[in-house]
A and B are shown apart, each in its own frame.
Chain A
Amino acid sequence: MGGKTKKQLLEELSEVQKMLEKRTETQGHMIRKFQTLIENEGLFSQIIDFLPYPLAIFTPQYTLSMTNKAFAAETKTRVMYPEKGAARILQHKINDMQLAAAITGVFAGNTFFLEDLKNPFSMFSGITQQSASEPDLFNRVVIFPVPADDAEITHGVIVFIP
């Protein structure tokens, strides 16, 4: 302590101040996030659930962690919150190279818009039956990443669009 100059002390104090500010900012962000969740209780899951386009959320291990009603209707499943490993993306069943690249590339933080896909639902395991009326109705997909607070991509989302 005695050996430190005034300048060094000021620098150290400035470091501590920055650290405290950073922590306050993180905590403020967390509080705002929780406030939003409380204020909009249930709204986010309702939007996803009532979205008329099939949507599936998947992990870096390619298991489905959530699907919506439209997905269940299109694939004739009753799976809304698939149990771990119950339904997954089988990469070897993807017959489109761009789609295969997108399913992997989403975890590098990239968003993909693909068109003219042939029967894209065939890549899922654990799906009992596909809607037979219009198998290629949803021939466009958007695949986008969902990062955690630390920016690590924890989930990918695929939305099927007519």
Chain B
Amino acid sequence: MGSSMKEMQNNIIGSFQSLFGKEELLAKVIECFPYPIQVYDPDGTSVLVNKAMLAEYHTISPDMVVGKYNIFKDPYIVASGQLPVLKRAFQGETVFFPDIKVPLEDIAERYGVEDFDIEAVYQDITVFPILDGEKRVIYVAAFLINRRVYRGKDEIEKAKEYIEIHWLERFDLNETARAACLSKAHFTKLFKKHTGVTPHEYYTNYKISKVKEKLLDANLSIAQVFAACNMDYNGHSARVFKNKTGLSPSAYRKKSE
């Protein structure tokens, strides 16, 4: 009895492995993907979520989402005005939503999460269709990459977030301190203590990182790169760049080619 049971079990495993060997591996790849993935039916109902998605939203079981959540009925998405763009994915187009702030409060309310251990998350979201042999949309998948995560409910993270949103504007210490809900003097001291740099240095470093990013685009002249970052390209800005990177803008571009 015991051995025939084992034999039957081995036969089933053998059959499944020959039928689903590759599929089993790919199911694990989706499950272990470190980025959240959610798949929807053509009517917008969730049919699959991976572990990363559940972990990020503190949702205990896929049953709380699968078959229940419908992306077209999500009040946050409806209110954001992004629905027409999203619908293009359900018509067969890949669409990209850069730097979207995750509505943590809405998610907390929907799934009864008491406390997220993060202050804010911004994601790049790619929504792509899955087509059948006749090019009909059979599923739509959303692939979410965390771009910026602000952990801990402290004022410094709020200030960093404020600087990274307003990096194109002139640096304003008063406004940055206000975003952190602190007085100017206390904020400056606290910021330096936590990050090792002053708020203005942090702002400059962030701005230079954006210049570096844009210098990789060979279609832009160096002056255009600086202009795109709301900086004049002159002796001062070139010196600031060199101080931070050790290279002149042109040398940096050449090295990156």
Contacts and interface: CB of A to CB of B under 8 A. Distances in A.
Determine the main DSSP class of A at the interface with B: mixed
B191 interface: no
Q: Which of A43, A53, A155 has the most CB of B within 10 A?
A: A43
Contacts of A144: 32-34
Given A33-B24, A34-B16, A37-B16, A47 B30 contact: yes
A48 B29 contact: yes
B216 A40 contact: no
Interface in A43-100: 43-48, 50-53, 57, 65-66, 81
B25 A146 contact: yes
A65 B141 CA distance: 23
Contacts of B23: 37, 41-42, 44-45
Interface stretch (B102-110, B124-132, B171-179, B198-206): B124-132
Q: Which of A27, A41, A44, A46 has the most CB of B within 10 A?
A: A44
Q: Which of A48, A155, A161 has the most CB of B within 10 A?
A: A48
Interface of A: 27, 30, 33-34, 36-37, 40-48, 50-53, 57, 65-66, 81, 111, 113, 118, 136, 142, 144-147, 155, 157, 161
A56 to B, nearest CB: 11
Nearest to A143: B34
Contact of A47 (B22, B141, B216): B141
Given A43-B48, A51-B128, A145 B24 contact: no
Contacts of A42: 23
Nearest to A81: B22
B143 interface: yes
B9 interface: yes
Q: Which of B12, B20, B256 has the most CB of A within 10 A?
A: B20
B165 to A, nearest CB: 21
10 contacts: A36-B27, A40-B47, A43-B47, A44-B27, A45-B26, A46-B139, A48-B30, A66-B25, A111-B34, A161-B145
Contacts of A53: 126, 143
B141 A142 contact: no
Given A37-B16, A44-B30, A50 B22 contact: no
Given A27-B9, A37-B16, A47 B37 contact: yes
A145 B256 CA distance: 30
Contact of B94 (A34, A36, A52, A145): A52
